[in-house]
Chains A and B, each alone.
Chain A
Amino acid sequence: MGILSIIFIVAGLFFLIVGAIGVIRLPDVFSRSHAVSLTDSLGAFLMLVGIALHEGLGINMLKILVVLALLYILNPAITHATVRAALRSGLKPWKKETS
């Protein structure tokens, strides 16, 4: 396993951990959607690129890139549809209470 793929995988894990902390800690669905969509997509991208580099050229690398393309198309689409549904159902975005 090359040093480059280890660097990519560790960077991806960092972003995935940040996303998980955000999903637990953030206050409402609109802010949680950032943690699910943005950091998750970047973390999955970095981890799958690291794994593809570890595999080397070949059919396995092509399949991993196909999975990556699927994730990159579907993950933001799901988040967008969910958040639009939440907005249309009348949820108000969270605001900091000023006492």
Chain B
Amino acid sequence: MKTFLFCVLVLLAILIAAYLYRVLRGPTIFDRVLGLNGISTKAIILLIVIGIYYERVDMFIDISTGYALLNLVGALAVAKYLEEKGIK
């Protein structure tokens, strides 16, 4: 059971690296915003799985909720800003 959760953690970290490639290499700024959105989704899941791995899920789920509020609402604000400004 522990081994399975550890494999899930490593796989999620590799997926975050894949999204990070898109954030660094993205041709336009919209690619970078989309990549950040994907990274924040993965990080939320990663935090909850870490909480289950260490059997402290009641603490890590609160951290994950805060991370979701900060990062997803922040990404939404950046997207709305780009939409109104209309970057060429």
Chain A positions within 8 Å of B, measured between CB atoms, are 1, 6, 9, 13, 16-17, 19-21, 23-24, 29, 32-33, 36, 40, 44, 47-48, 51, 54-55, 59-60, 63-64, 66-67, 70-71, 74-75, 77-79, 81-86, 88-91
Assuming the contacts A63-B61, A85-B87, asked whether A51 and B22 have C-beta atoms less than 8 A apart, the reply is no
CB-based contact A78/B45 at 8 Å: no
A88 to B58 alpha-carbon distance, docked (Å): 43
CB-based contact A47/B1 at 8 Å: no
Sort A-B residue pairs by CB-CB distance and give the 4 closest, nearest first: A81-B79, A85-B83, A74-B72, A20-B18
Q: CB-CB < 8 A to B80: which residues of A? A: 81
CB-based contact B45/A48 at 8 Å: yes
Count of interface residues, chain B, beta-carbon cutoff 8 Å: 44
Chain B positions within 8 Å of A, measured between CB atoms, are 1, 4, 8, 11-12, 15, 18-19, 21-22, 28, 30-31, 33-35, 37-38, 41-42, 44-45, 48-49, 52, 57-58, 61-62, 64-65, 68-69, 72-73, 75-76, 79-80, 82-83, 86-88
Assuming the contacts A16-B15, A60-B57, asked whether A78 and B38 have C-beta atoms less than 8 A apart, the reply is no
Query: Shortest beta-carbon distance, B64 to chain A, in Å?
Result: 6
Given contact pairs A44-B41, A67-B64, A81-B80, enumerate 9 new A-B contacts (beta carbons under 8 Å).
A9-B8, A20-B19, A20-B38, A32-B31, A36-B38, A40-B38, A40-B41, A60-B58, A66-B65
Q: CB-CB < 8 A to B58: which residues of A? A: 59-60
CB-based contact B22/A81 at 8 Å: no
Residue with the highest number of chain B CB atoms closer than 10 Å, among A17, A74, A78? A78
